[in-house]
């Protein structure tokens, strides 16, 4: 079930429920707006206030491709992600 509302600064918000297997449904207006189709990968990034969900560019599933245009240290990012994987799944 999806509830639609208006959040801070007049931004449209969507309230969704987490299913018994931890699954959530991305509301149709968001899937359409960001081109998220069945089988497309998304990136979930833990941030201070919650989780950022980002649609990956099509054909990209690698960190280096995702960060290619950003001014970041790729080795540092890969290290952070590797550490996060081990701590999240404990």
Phi and psi for 27 in degrees, rounded to 5?
-55, 145
DSSP assignment of 49-89, as one string?
TEEEEEEPPTT--SHHHHTTTS-S-HHHHHHHHHHHHHHHT
The whole-model pTM stands at 0.53
* pLDDT, tens digit only, all 90 positions of the chain: 456 665 555 678 899 999 999 999 999 999 999 889 998 888 889 988 888 888 887 754 455 566 666 667 777 877 877 777 777 655
Cβ-contact 78, 88 below 8 angstroms: no
DSSP assignment of 22-36, as one string?
S--PPPHHHHHHHT-
Which residue is associated with the tokens 């987490």? 18
């Amino acid at each position: 079930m999806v509830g639609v509302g208006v959040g801070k600064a007049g931004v449209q918000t969507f309230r969704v429920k987490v299913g018994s297997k931890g699954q959530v449904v991305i509301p149709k207006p968001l899937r359409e707006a960001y081109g998220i189709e069945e089988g497309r990968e998304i990136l979930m990034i833990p941030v201070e206030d919650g989780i950022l969900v980002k649609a990956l560019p099509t054909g990209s599933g690698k960190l280096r491709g995702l960060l290619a245009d950003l001014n970041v240290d790729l080795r540092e990012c890969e290290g952070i992600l590797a550490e996060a994987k081990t701590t999240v799944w404990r």
